[in-house]
Amino acid sequence: MELKYGCNPNQKPSSVYVKNGELPIEVLNGKPGYINLLDAFNGWQLVRELKAATGLPAATSFKHVSPAGAAIGRPLTDTLRKIYFTGDGELSPLACAYARARGADRMSSYGDFIALSDECDESTAKLIQVEVSDGIIAPGYSQKALEILKSKRKGTYCIIKIDPAYVPAPIETKDVFGVTFEQGRNELKIDAEMMKNVVTENKNIPADKLEDLIISLITLKYTQSNSVCYVKDGQAIGIGAGQQSRIHCTRLAGQKADNWYLRQSPEVLGLEFVDNIRRPDRDNAIDVYISDDSDEVLAEGVWQNIFKVKPAPFTRDAKKAWLATNTAVALGSDAFFPFGDNIERAHRSGVEFIAEPGGSIRDDNVIETCNKYGIAMAFTGIRLFHH
């Protein structure tokens, strides 16, 4: 399949192919690009594994070869429906999964490439219809869903159907600087067996939190390393990807998790926006309002283009008090934590359950820090680097 160009417009020619047989995809609408397909194939693998591990429909929102969000189809609370802007219509389990995946980090999901584990139904397509997105990959589409999606982007929205029975070769290769790299595919199955070695004083990991840890590790399996993933109630709420330092992963993902929770605060839920405000403008305003730069959005005259009534400032103390009520968060790391500072930062975002490989020369410090806060931590013995 010929592509318009590679990662950048100057990188031509560009195409995708398999060495033997046919491509496992069918393009139903639009024309995918090089990065679109990288997102599509990584995203499809992620949701396929989430579905296999949990039995529930799964969705992910990909940007630049890492997930901005990933989730399974647990029902949404009224609060989540409000902060995800789903409206009042009935939501299928798959639609719930996509609302969670898209809604966790709306700033990063802007212009995403979507992957769904199941046939896209009308309920899910209606959610996608109003969002800014580049395309979607799924094993199938209902007729009504296909009609809705084809109407996006003036008829150019990229819609890909993948063969769910496709099995890639066990050896994968890629070229870098004219040199071919070869390795066995990462076919590691992530399940509860990996979480049996609980090394902390607190060894209680309830079944639903075990599932959250599984979700975090499957998400990390397809996230550019170094990476850390916070999960709560079946969805990633903060993903830190591609950082050179583990603590920076933990801080980045923790800030995203904090933002997700701050959006559920009474201060944010009470914001009254002007009529017909664009969805990205609303999302940007919320992001600034909950940040340390909230004075920008509350500046004299500026707020009148956004809010019907000028909101009171969201003070640092008020944010700190609200964040203190976030609990029972699960955290996965794609490699060991080298120091206890990562645990200190994770604790600030409500983390009570952790899965990481172990193997640092400072494991004793990491375990000691977990014990200080009563955190239950499992050593998986498995690294999940992805590049």
Q: 252 is written with which tokens?
A: 């980045």
In whole angstroms, give the CA distance from residue 201 to residue 306. 50
Distances (CA, A) of 50 to 169, 197, 236: 21, 22, 12
Q: Which two tokens stand for residue 111?
A: 């212009």
Find all residues with CB under 8 Å of 284, minimum gap 6, and list them. 107
Active-site residue (options: 64, 248, 310, 386): 64
Sheet of strand 351-356: strand arrangement: 25-29, 158-162, 133-138, 112-116, 58-63, 66-72, 235-241, 227-232, 329-333, 351-356, 376-379
* Catalytic (active site) residue 63: yes
Each residue of 303-321: b (16+ CB within 10 Å) or e?
beebbeeebeebeeeebee
342 is catalytic: no
CA angle, residues 22, 24, 25, in degrees to nearest 5: 115
For residue 173, give Cα distances in angstroms to 116, 134, 182, 184. Answer: 26, 27, 4, 9
Which residue, 84, 104, 95, is CA-closest to 122? 95
Helix axes 341-348, 363-373, angle to 10 degrees: 30
The catalytically annotated residue of 36, 226, 326, 342 is 226
Catalytic residue among 51, 63, 152, 319: 63
111 Cβ contact list (under 8 Å, min separation 6): 63, 132, 133, 134
Sequence-separated (6 or more) residues with CB below 8 Å from residue 231: 212, 213, 215, 216, 219, 237, 329, 330, 331, 332
* Virtual torsion, Cα 111, 215, 85, 317, nearest 10 deg: -100
- Tokens linked to 155: 């008829």
Look at the block and give the residue holding tokens 């060991």. Answer: 336
| CB-facing half-sphere around the CA of 100: CA atoms within 13 A | 27
Looking at the annotation, which residues are catalytic? 63-64, 226, 387
